A and B are shown apart, each in its own frame.
Chain A
Amino acid sequence: MITDQRHEQFMERIQRGEKIEATDWMPDEYRKLLLKLIHMHAVSEIMGAFPEKEWVPKAPTLKRKLAIMAKVQDEVGHGQLLLRVAEDLAAPLGKTREDLMEDLIEGRVKFHNVFHMESPTWADAGVIGWLVDGAAIINQAALLSTSYGPYARVLKRICAEESFHMQHGENIILALAGGSKEQRRMLQEAVNRWWESLIFFFGPVEVTDAARRMIDYRIRTKTNEELRQQFLKKYVPRIHSLGLTIPDPNLRYDEESEKWIFTEPDWKKFGEIVRYNQGPKSQERLKLRRFAHEDQRWVREAMVRSQKMQVV
């Protein structure tokens, strides 16, 4: 009975537009939904470092080298901010940073489909910065009004830094778009490679039960499809303005429904890539994360040990 009353009060707070904090009472369902979302967001930032990282040693000018280093660093930094939010949510469940990281390595938490894919050319580094980040920014900006205070606060910081990432990505692709025939070809191929992943990125068109619950709790306020439409509205005209094509013959704006019509991605294929980590680069990148986390456990152990020795 007490729980019912608490739940009711909680929902009233949500409806009044109040923010919930880590130490507040919250329904288990709210905690679980949030934790799942933020945990996935956090590890996606961390895994998202890898496709671009491949191009850090190969960046073609000194300025690009510095910029892409800074950009990948920011992504890891966003992972850090989000992990801390997830850790505080997971603390009452007895979970810590180590557990959240192991969940990733053991495949118990998913990361975004886009980071399972290959980035074989420099143009991919540009397209990731431009379109993948573009999609992620729309997602994150829509979450700024989330009912969970700690998440809202780190998102504010993250979005501020993403505005640099947008410029960074655009700058790379604008150089390629204005460059040689070969550079333009490289850019077009990268757009072709990423398009279906980008459409999938926003998730299924129908509103799932979990998504509905998240909207009820005001964890998020927009549906997948609303966000995807935003993305198409902003980016399709820009892609076309560069003289690039989009690999979807059905893509068009429907005046009547005021919506972009697109070919649905292969939901099953991408769903499995994300669920079972069986994309073209999933295992290779998880191996990198495993190297960082497991092969270097000795470093963390040593640092904790030496601190204990100093205190004693």
Chain B
Amino acid sequence: MMQTAEQIVQEPRLRHALTELLYQLADDELCLGHRDSEWLGLAPDIEGDVAFSSIAQDEVGHAVFYLERLHELGEAKPDQLAFFRGPGERRNAILLEQPNGDWARTIVRHFLYDIFDDIRMEALLQSSFHSLAQGVVKIRREEHYHLLHHKMWFTRLAQAGGEARQRMEQAVSEVWMEVGGLFSLGEVEEEMLHYGLIACGSEGLAQRWAERMRPLFDEAGLNWPGMPVKPKRDGRKGEHTKDLERLIQTMSEVVGSDPDAQW
């Protein structure tokens, strides 16, 4: 049954489950978009620099969409949510708050996340929150290019052998430590499923992801490191690292100097 924001705010448990889900979506995209933008002017070639920046903008744009839905549900305004929530209130996976590392790590993290994000959005297409289901259709269209872009880079760098392959293997082993954190749906997973906000639980997301990811590793000639394990800390429960603290500090430096001013 499709529901609107007005209907949902009447039911506190439903509203809570939905806001948790939306924060996970928004914070994943915001962190990643912010990290992506750190590559501006620094990518391996000029053409690629321009292309990667578009991806960064798309991610931030998607975060804005989710933050707007949160505002519809009575949460603060998108800017307030983006700049003034502390680490404990953030619901992104820890993987996405980590610094970029080299180009290999950037590509590996992004590609692994993009596949996950696609599977998650697939599970949101029938979401009982009407405007989320609608938005996800549009966002998925934009993510198509990201998938294409990152699959190409992932496969080619891994296939190239030499230093590139070593770096890719190193990146995979580093990213694997935290990649399991993507699949968590946090503390109210059951409610999310119960209310039909998302069609697939964390176990299912992880399974589907592995099913899609494994052949892509084969294609790239990379060893599949086995099913990712659950990391110690769960970003979906507000457990984060110093990296996120620093990210928030940087992001809110200007606006934090005078939160009441118009910027």
Contacts and interface: CB of A to CB of B under 8 A. Distances in A.
Find out whether A and B make contact in their complex, taking CB atoms under 8 A apart as touching.
yes
Interface of A: 46, 49-50, 53, 55-62, 64-66, 69-70, 72-73, 76-77, 79-80, 83, 97, 122, 175, 178-180, 182-183, 288-289, 291-292, 296-303, 305-307, 309
Contacts of B231: none
A288 B40 CA distance: 11
Contacts, number: 138
A79 B46 contact: yes
Given A58-B251, A80-B47, A303-B156, A72 B40 contact: yes
Contacts of A76: 40-41, 46, 49-50, 53
B42 A288 contact: yes
Contacts of A83: 46
Contact of B53 (A62, A73, A79): A73
Shortest Cβ-Cβ A-B pairs, 8 listed? A302-B164, A302-B160, A60-B255, A60-B263, A299-B44, A73-B53, A296-B44, A49-B41
B96 interface: no
B185 interface: no
B22 to A, nearest CB: 15
Contacts of A303: 156-157, 160
Contacts of B161: 305
Interface in B23-74: 34, 37-38, 40-47, 49-50, 53-54, 56-57, 60-61, 63-64, 67
A29 B161 CA distance: 45
Contacts of A64: 263
B263 A175 contact: yes
A179 to B, nearest CB: 5
A297 B56 CA distance: 22
B50 to A, nearest CB: 5
Given A62-B78, A83-B46, A306-B157, A292 B253 contact: no
Interface of B: 34, 37-38, 40-47, 49-50, 53-54, 56-57, 60-61, 63-64, 67, 78-79, 82-83, 102-103, 156-157, 159-164, 167, 250-251, 253-255, 257-258, 261-263
Contact of B67 (A62, A69, A79): A62
A288 B49 CA distance: 13
A305 B160 contact: yes
24 contacts: A46-B41, A56-B38, A57-B34, A57-B250, A58-B250, A60-B255, A61-B83, A62-B64, A70-B53, A175-B262, A175-B263, A178-B262, A179-B261, A179-B263, A182-B257, A183-B258, A288-B41, A296-B102, A298-B162, A299-B157, A301-B160, A301-B162, A302-B164, A303-B160
